[in-house]
Amino acid sequence: MRADDDSLYREQLPNVCNLVTDGGRKLCRPTTVTNKFPILSWLPRYRTEYLAQDFIAGFTVGLTTIPQAIAYGVVAGLEPQYGLYSAFMGCFTYIIFGSCKDVTIATTAIMALMVHQYAIISPDYAVLACFLAGCIILVLGLLNMGVLVRFISIPVITGFTMSAATTIGSAQINNLMGLSSPSNDLLPAWKNFFTHLTSIRRWDAILGVLTLVFLLLMKHVKDIKWGNKTFWKYLALARNALAVIIGTYLAYALSRDGNQPFRVTGNITAGVPPFRPPPFSTTIDGTYVSFGEMISTLGPSLGSIPMIAILEIVAISKAFSKGKIVDASQEMVALGMCNIMGSFVLSMPVTGSFTRTAVNNASGVRTPLGGAVTGCLVLMALAFLTQTFYYIPKATLAAIIIAAMISLVELHKITDMWKSKRRDLLPFLVTILTCLFWSLEYGILCGIVANLVYILYSSARPQLNITVEKINGHEFGLVEVKQKLDYACAEYVKEKVVRFINQQNGETHLIVLKGEEINSIDYTVAMNIITLKEDLEVLHCDLVCWNWNMGSAGVVCRLKPEMRSIFKFNYAIEELVAAHFDGSPNTSSTVTIASDN
Amino acid sequence: MRADDDSLYREQLPNVCNLVTDGGRKLCRPTTVTNKFPILSWLPRYRTEYLAQDFIAGFTVGLTTIPQAIAYGVVAGLEPQYGLYSAFMGCFTYIIFGSCKDVTIATTAIMALMVHQYAIISPDYAVLACFLAGCIILVLGLLNMGVLVRFISIPVITGFTMSAATTIGSAQINNLMGLSSPSNDLLPAWKNFFTHLTSIRRWDAILGVLTLVFLLLMKHVKDIKWGNKTFWKYLALARNALAVIIGTYLAYALSRDGNQPFRVTGNITAGVPPFRPPPFSTTIDGTYVSFGEMISTLGPSLGSIPMIAILEIVAISKAFSKGKIVDASQEMVALGMCNIMGSFVLSMPVTGSFTRTAVNNASGVRTPLGGAVTGCLVLMALAFLTQTFYYIPKATLAAIIIAAMISLVELHKITDMWKSKRRDLLPFLVTILTCLFWSLEYGILCGIVANLVYILYSSARPQLNITVEKINGHEFGLVEVKQKLDYACAEYVKEKVVRFINQQNGETHLIVLKGEEINSIDYTVAMNIITLKEDLEVLHCDLVCWNWNMGSAGVVCRLKPEMRSIFKFNYAIEELVAAHFDGSPNTSSTVTIASDN
């Protein structure tokens, strides 16, 4: 009882000195170093038999990465080689810092879409965005801010992904049909499509639609039960590479005197990008643009690109680490380093890619070392294959993007929400509508805020039971609160009690406020308990706080020591009521105060 | 059990049809009309003996209002008569719509400060702000949005009030010393004071400081126990009026050939303002300014002025309606109407004034009718006394403002917070620092957000007890959750359980998740329960959800009907564990799934 009683008069706070020394000790412990460099824990235990598996998986991922990278370079509004520039440095860096063996780092369709508006001004914006996003993610990771991602609920993530996929896919409908598309936005893309129906290029359209159908069918080839199952699985995984090879061959074979039947990717600058710091200033149309001006152009993207990048990698690493705890902050450190290093080789912002991570997992990767193979494959493609890339038809790339986006539009999740909790459709709808028709950056923010409203609303409306009880002929109101009280509900509680007393027509002269389960209250709630007591006195009613949690009672008592007298601990309710109404010396003081008024 | 079981398969939603018809019926009920026009309920019961009391109170408030109104006109950067224009229409309108007898509506120091930046461009901005703020407050009131005020905690209100008072008081230090002040901001005001120390006008400074000392002393005159207590009380109430009368007399008596020893208020435009619609466009220096341009100049003030106005009136009406429930939304309707009507007579934004409401209450007002007397007194002053106002020394007005502001800086609240809950000092400090050194509008927003973090943090960290239990030699982990689960804590719960199992080194093969007190979960939590089960299967551990709240269990079961088998209701824990480990037919299916992996 001593210690408990003590907490009425002194707030129990964590010892700051201990916190600091603990933190310091934790920071210098060897495991902390290993945690920040996961390679130190898995490389010493590497076994030679892993090599073959890592090689196969890395090679398969590489084959998937190359066509996707070129396509996403196009989505970003950059020359195709920028997609490839973004696809190798992340793989190498993640080997050192990454903690999840399956995750593959490269640019994704959503990242590409988010830099598009700046990248079309100058590629330097995309590279600078990569560097800055990397720095922000790294700092957030080191500050252990990974938990913030938890405030983005599945309905909001679903809404965001669906609308991003719809936007990206819609923009490619023009490329699929051989039209040139002026914008990456949803409505302008469809408007352009419908106003230029007569300009559709026949051969492009045929190739595009056939490729799309091919890709959508090939996805299900893995379910074939006939023959060698592994063969079908790998065939399904290689579908993008196959589509590109067939399309490129057709474009090459059908070309006459430099004229192709299809619109093709065209010249890709050959060679590995130079290793140099990201551009902190640039020149656009002969005008010098300073770092400050570049920052102000990037604007809100500097918040949204890191947020989405973190969201993607954390979601992916959690999905693929069944039964293991994912250190979200370490994943952020790894992702930050990948972006920072990437920006030295002209990369645009990168994050974990769901498709390629799934391919990596399905190919049986054993350690993050598989990424090295993928990275080398991309580098070799840049060095030796760019001439071949000239002939990749744009319609083929568009089909690859659209097929990937279709799989992101998970309509079944809408019916899931409808079946399980309809209320959750609201943040989903807010997110998807604002993302589609306003902007992805602000849309996801609107969704998050709309969803926070639920949390805030429930904190303002605590569960409160008020009942009229009668013991030995004495009537009193019993108020039961079953949760911690925040300032947002302070007035609600007070109002409920006063309203209850007003409804009793002056027949109830005692309110017992039971508080065993009120784990914590704040200053505002304490102030309201004090004014509640004063308000009740005007109504000729006493307030007794019964069996409160000591910590919460202390907040009130320390604020106004006179309130100590209304807190009663360790009484049975019968004793309490009897003592109050029959005027045992212990409680008579409160009665006197009340009858004074 | 039937109805309960049903809720596993169908979400229990409120009947929308009933909601609509109920709402319609409520809207057409006679009490709703009376609620919106409280005068209809108190005027028929008005008794003649109230008249004298209402008259005396209204007259006293009028005497306090007139000097304050002139002073606040100066704070707003307007000509002094604008303060008086703001001081009568609110009184008349509140009689019809107001529900709290003590509240007095007029402009306040904080309102004046908030319009200052626009009012110095043109008074039309202040009048338009009054009209628009009125419309916004009215709409929010009709939509019953009064509850939103609850999200502004006492620490944030305290921080805001203190910094506003400090800013207003600091700006008047220049007027007190006879200096002309270029800005109403904190730092520029003090900088101006210290760089112009040599320009201090001796007589202004003497009058100012003496008046200030006089006012601060007179405030305590009411505590004198000697002689007629009522006399001292009214003397204390009349201190502002006395200061003005003495100062004005001195300025008049000491003036020689139109030269006064003091800087005086100067010409005040005589007469009652015309009744005409607020200005929806204006002309500044000969340039036409459209409605749209005026709106964009007012900018964020259109959010913050209504918010602060609502905050002030709701706080005041609650403080003075002991034991009665204040209808915050009706107060907002009244305040909105006061502002709208006020804008027709060139008023700046108005709200409830704490000082004058306290005077009203102390003077024993019986009904809102007292406001009519106050309003008439202000109108008469405008009509007949403006010539006298010419001689009011600026230093006297500055002293009145500073004295009022000093009483708003309640330093004892800081020690209160320190004693009762130190955590609450953080939102307080955020508010006061951002308000002082950035802007009042954004400062209060920062404070609100800083405080919301506490609510959000606690929703992300639910109380969770995980213990190892042993029944009949069977070991299992018992997870107890005592509150509703939001999406923000979904991953936290999952992570805690998986971490627990990892720590048990494969010795625990059953997790019992007790959920009697989980009142509600959402889609994200349901998804995480499902993936938790899958994660646990990988770790050779089963999950049983024991005695869950039916509504919450339903969210999971409707999402994935197979999950029905892990929910066990109406079992004792011993039965449950025995059935699970000894393989009674009821639970064997779960065991099989687990051993498959």
A563: contact with B, CB 8 A cutoff:
no
Instruction: For residues B255 and B344, state if they share a domain.
Output: yes
Instruction: For residues A127 and A216, state if they share a domain.
Output: yes
Instruction: For residues A428 and A490, state if they share a domain.
Output: no
Dihedral, B479, B485, B486, B490 alpha carbons, nearest 10: 20
Dihedral, B384, B386, B387, B391 alpha carbons, nearest 10: 140
Instruction: For residues A447 and A469, state if they share a domain.
Output: no
pLDDT confidence of residue A443: 87
Is A427 within 8 Å of A153 (Cβ atoms)? yes
pLDDT in tens, A496-540: 898 898 888 778 889 999 988 888 888 999 999 998 998 888 888
Report the amino acid identity of residue B203: W
Contact list in A for residue B420 (CB cut-off 8 A) is 11, 523, 526, 554-556, 558-559
Task: Tell me, yes or no, whether B537 lies in a domain.
Answer: yes
B67 φ/ψ angles, rounded to the nearest 5 degrees = -65, -40
- Final residue belonging to a domain, choices A453, A485, A506: A453
Q: In whole angstroms, how far apart are CA A346 and each of A128, A272, A328, A584, B519?
A: 9, 10, 27, 82, 52
Task: Tell me, yes or no, whether A213 lies in a domain.
Answer: yes
Strand stretches in B343-392, DSSP E: 351-352
> Which residues is B476 bridged to in the sheet?
B469
Domain that holds residue A380: 49-453
Q: What is the 3-state secondary structure (H, E, C) of B247-283?
A: HHHHHHHHCECCECCCCECCCCCCCCCCCCCCCCCEE
Q: How many CA atoms lie within 13 A of B156 on its CB side?
A: 25
B325: contact with A, CB 8 A cutoff:
yes
Report the amino acid identity of residue B179: L
CA distance A151 to A463: 23
CA distance B228 to A482: 52
Residues of chain A with pLDDT under 70: 1-7, 12-31, 258, 322-323, 583-597
Is B351 within 8 Å of B109 (Cβ atoms)? no
Give the helix/strand (H/E) hosting B60: helix B48-75
Instruction: For residues B221 and B195, state if they share a domain.
Output: yes
Q: What is the 3-state secondary structure (H, E, C) of B439-455?
A: CHHHHHHHHHHHHHHHH
Q: In whole angstroms, how far apart are CA B457 and each of A518, A526, B30, B465, B568?
A: 17, 20, 45, 18, 31
Q: How many CA atoms lie within 13 A of B418 on its CB side?
A: 6
User: Closest residue of A to B8, CA-based?
Assistant: A420
Task: Inspect the interface and report whether the beta carbons of A486 and B455 lie closer than 8 Å.
Answer: yes
Report the amino acid identity of residue A473: G
A284 φ/ψ angles, rounded to the nearest 5 degrees = -120, 120
Task: Inspect the interface and report whether the beta carbons of B538 and A486 lie closer than 8 Å.
Answer: no
Interface test with B, best of A331, A413, A414, A524 (most B CBs within 10 A): A524
Is A323 within 8 Å of B538 (Cβ atoms)? yes
Task: Tell me, yes or no, whether A41 lies in a domain.
Answer: no
Q: In whole angstroms, how far apart are CA B129 and each of B123, B294, B304?
A: 10, 9, 11
CA distance B67 to B57: 17
pLDDT confidence of residue B97: 92
Helices (H), B76-201: 81-85, 89-97, 109-119, 123-142, 154-176, 186-195
Instruction: For residues B559 and B501, state if they share a domain.
Output: yes
Nearest-by-Cβ selection for A522 from B318, B421, B536: B421
Minimal C-alpha gap between A100 and chain B (Å): 16
Task: Inspect the interface and report whether the beta carbons of B420 and A323 lie closer than 8 Å.
Answer: no
Q: How deeply is B4 buried, as exposed, middle or buried, from its count of CB atoms within 10 A (0-12, 13-18, 19+)?
A: middle
Is B394 within 8 Å of B263 (Cβ atoms)? yes
Is A61 within 8 Å of A104 (Cβ atoms)? yes
- Final residue belonging to a domain, choices A408, A434, A453: A453
CA distance A476 to B250: 63
Q: What is the DSSP string of B91-127?
A: HHHHHHH---TT--EE--HHHHHHHHHHHTT-HHHHH
Is A69 within 8 Å of A346 (Cβ atoms)? no
pLDDT confidence of residue B414: 92
Which CATH number do you get for residue A543? Answer: 3.30.750.24
A522: contact with B, CB 8 A cutoff:
yes
Q: Is 0.90 topped by the overall pTM?
A: no
pLDDT confidence of residue A29: 66
Largest CA distance in chain B: 110
Task: Tell me, yes or no, whether B421 lies in a domain.
Answer: no
Q: Sign of dihedral through CA atoms B181, B182, B184, B189?
A: negative
pLDDT confidence of residue A232: 84
Task: Tell me, yes or no, whether A21 lies in a domain.
Answer: no
CA distance B138 to A541: 35
Largest CA distance in chain A: 110
Q: In whole angstroms, how far apart are CA A243 and each of A31, A63, A350, A403?
A: 47, 11, 24, 12
Q: How deeply is A567 buried, as exposed, middle or buried, from its count of CB atoms within 10 A (0-12, 13-18, 19+)?
A: buried
Report the amino acid identity of residue B460: A
Instruction: For residues B302 and B157, state if they share a domain.
Output: yes
C-alpha gyration radius of chain B: 32
- Final residue belonging to a domain, choices B394, B412, B430: B412
Instruction: For residues A404 and A484, state if they share a domain.
Output: no
Is B492 within 8 Å of B459 (Cβ atoms)? no
Helices (H), B299-347: 301-319, 328-342
Instruction: For residues A589 and A498, state if they share a domain.
Output: yes
Task: Inspect the interface and report whether the beta carbons of B153 and A483 lie closer than 8 Å.
Answer: no
Instruction: For residues A507 and A398, state if they share a domain.
Output: no
pLDDT confidence of residue B403: 87
Minimal C-alpha gap between A284 and chain B (Å): 32
Is A540 within 8 Å of A517 (Cβ atoms)? no
A539: contact with B, CB 8 A cutoff:
yes
Q: What is the DSSP string of A216-265?
A: HHHGGGGG--SS-HHHHHHHHHTHHHHHHHHHHHHHHHH-BTTB-SS-B-
Instruction: For residues A91 and A210, state if they share a domain.
Output: yes
Residues of chain B with pLDDT under 50: 1-3, 585-597
B462 φ/ψ angles, rounded to the nearest 5 degrees = -70, 155
B522: contact with A, CB 8 A cutoff:
yes
Per-residue tokens: A544: 């007794």
Per-residue tokens: B558: 């409707």
Task: Tell me, yes or no, whether B15 lies in a domain.
Answer: yes
Is B574 within 8 Å of B469 (Cβ atoms)? no
Is B307 within 8 Å of B137 (Cβ atoms)? no
Contact list in A for residue B522 (CB cut-off 8 A) is 153, 421, 423-424, 454
Strand B510-514 relative to strand B474-481, pairing: parallel
CA distance A167 to A160: 11
Closest to B70 (Cα-Cα) out of B175, B177, B180, B187: B175
Closest to A403 (Cα-Cα) out of A186, A209, A212: A212
Is B421 within 8 Å of A526 (Cβ atoms)? yes
Task: Inspect the interface and report whether the beta carbons of A524 and B155 lie closer than 8 Å.
Answer: yes
Q: Directed axis angle between helix A354-362 and helix A48-75, to 10°?
A: 160
Residue-wise burial string across B423-456, b where 16 or more C-beta atoms lie within 10 A, e elsewhere: ebebbbbbbbebbbeebbbebbbbbbebbbebbb
User: Closest residue of A to B501, CA-based?
Assistant: A323
pLDDT confidence of residue A405: 84
Per-residue tokens: B325: 């429930």
∠ Cα B479 B482 B485 (to 5°): 90
Based on the structure, what is the number of domains in chain B? 3
pLDDT in tens, A34-57: 778 888 888 888 888 888 888 888
Task: Tell me, yes or no, whether B435 lies in a domain.
Answer: no
Task: Tell me, yes or no, whether B68 lies in a domain.
Answer: yes
Size of interface A-B (CB pairs under 8 A): 157
∠ Cα B471 B476 B479 (to 5°): 115
Decide: helix, strand or coil at residue A477: strand
Instruction: For residues B333 and B220, state if they share a domain.
Output: yes
